[in-house]
Structure 1
């Protein structure tokens, strides 16, 4: 029988006292090192590591007849059990269907086409409330994709005028869309 896994020969005591002494000695001698090992196995997740240590301690307690917590060789047994527990948990998560909120999907979510139609309609309606100059600036800069300088050249105005009209047009659009409850 490997060292560290020898039956304990102690004076007969009540089971509760023996169980308490076993658990205390196990945690005192191996708890900190086992927890550090479990944190590494769990990728830094301390809460999962605590669960792994606790489950490892329960299994050690179940085998206290063959384990001697005073012997440092029992640490190898504890590490092996902790490693197997982490592997079992990982396999269990892989085997069950993915639950809502487990992890975000790598695929981008597809917006509802109906929302786009409603928003487009609301924007077009709000654009009718703008002045002709503001509407022109927004069409050139936002919809056609022209730069401020290109828009200024097309409209025959200064770039500063284009910026000013775009600013006030966007402000008016936001106010109109908020009033229509399209924007927050």
Structure 2
């Protein structure tokens, strides 16, 4: 047992520093390198037959074990853990630039209408009111509400065509 401890101490003195630099180069972390070198030496201690081998064989065995430990750690679930976030990321939304330009165009065209025409179009199409509700709101007969809406839409269509809208 004393002989194995002395051999392990010699192994540590001969290869630990070189092995540590190699592992730091592989994984980029000094603390991880400390752990890998320690585990490599522990495996050498558990395999007493390796201590009796040729020094070149021992060196290559230790570097191979260390390399495999680094690879195993990189593939482990501990390395690939998920990090929780407080809020989920925003979902991508469609480009709404065209919608914005259409709104600006409609607002501009609505501004050219008379106040009565603009009010009836806004109440009918943006507030969703029926012709009977329009007649009650503006205190006009239902037929007048229908014809006012018709002429307002016609004037709005003309204003939109003047701005290049053809649909």
Scaled by the length of structure 1, the TM-score of the pair is 0.42
Flag the structure with higher helix content: 2
Relative contact order higher in (CA < 8 Å, ≥ 6 apart): 1
